[in-house]
């Protein structure tokens, strides 16, 4: 495996409740607590920031299935918010890497399916090409890369809700790291968009 580093930045985006959950107590598809906030101006501007410098989207299979069943129609919807259409067009047209243990071939154009440790795949991606590598709202990939200290930028949306259950992003045992807050914006409903860059 190549270990050359081209300087590509690995960024990740995720929405979290006040108690650090990325889904609710109902399981992986429980986003009821987040729903009131995801279409706000702050959230949409935040979504634009995550992809503007990215040239590849990295997703888990479940997220990939959900995203690709929804966003292509937004890309074609002349009445959709321009920020939504911008992201949708980027996602459809950019290169995608999908982690899956069950798929044997990619169901979409510009998509490569991998079944390998996330740290190995991301290290390989960093060795060639240019532009940010976006870990696109996929905790199953973000978590092992946080553990391997391979994430350079965190785009976080914090929603003013205590979910009271569900899965957490940050667990005990992560390496101690320092981050700089490089952007912060608060919405009318109390949602906060934040960007943190890893200090190395």
Summarize pLDDT for 98-124 with one digit per residue, the tens. 999 999 888 889 999 999 999 999 999
CATH H superfamily, domain 10-199: Dihydrofolate Reductase, subunit A (3.40.430.10)
* CA–CA separation, 88 and 79 (whole Å): 13
Integer angstrom CA distances of residue 113 from 56, 60, 82, 94, 103 = 13, 10, 30, 14, 7
Domain boundary assignment for the chain = 10-199
What is the DSSP pairing of strand 192-199 with strand 178-186?
antiparallel
Task: List residues bridging with 50 in a β-sheet.
Answer: none
Q: What Rg value do the Cα atoms of the chain yield, rounded?
A: 16
pLDDT for 2 = 42
**175 pLDDT more than 90:** yes
pLDDT for 45 = 97
Nearest C-alpha neighbor of 196 from the set 134, 140, 150, 151: 151
For 148, counting Cβ atoms within 10 Å of its Cβ (0-12 exposed, 13-18 middle, 19+ buried), the class is middle
CA 156 to chain centre: 9
Task: Report DSSP state, residue 168.
Answer: B
Q: Is 166 left (phi over 0), alpha (psi -120 to 50) or beta?
A: left
**6 pLDDT more than 80:** no
């Amino acid at each position: 495996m190549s270990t050359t580093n081209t300087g590509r930045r690995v960024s990740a985006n995720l929405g979290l409740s006040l108690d650090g959950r990325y889904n609710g107590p109902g399981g992986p598809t429980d986003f009821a607590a987040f729903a009131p906030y995801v279409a706000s101006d702050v959230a949409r501007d935040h979504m634009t920031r995550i992809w503007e410098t990215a040239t590849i989207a990295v997703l888990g299979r479940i997220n990939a299935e959900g995203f690709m069943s929804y966003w292509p129609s937004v890309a074609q919807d002349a009445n959709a918010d321009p920020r939504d259409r911008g992201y949708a067009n980027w996602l459809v047209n950019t290169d995608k890497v999908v982690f899956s243990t069950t798929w044997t071939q990619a169901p979409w154009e510009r998509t490569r399916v991998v079944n390998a440790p996330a740290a190995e795949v991301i290290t390989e991606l960093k060795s060639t090409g240019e532009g940010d590598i976006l870990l696109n709202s996929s905790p199953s990939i973000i978590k092992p890369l946080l553990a391997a200290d391979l994430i350079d930028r965190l785009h976080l949306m914090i929603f003013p809700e205590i979910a009271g259950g569900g899965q957490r992003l940050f667990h005990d045992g992560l390496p101690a790291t320092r981050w700089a807050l490089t952007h912060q914006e608060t919405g009318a409903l109390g949602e906060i968009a934040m960007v943190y860059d890893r200090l190395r």
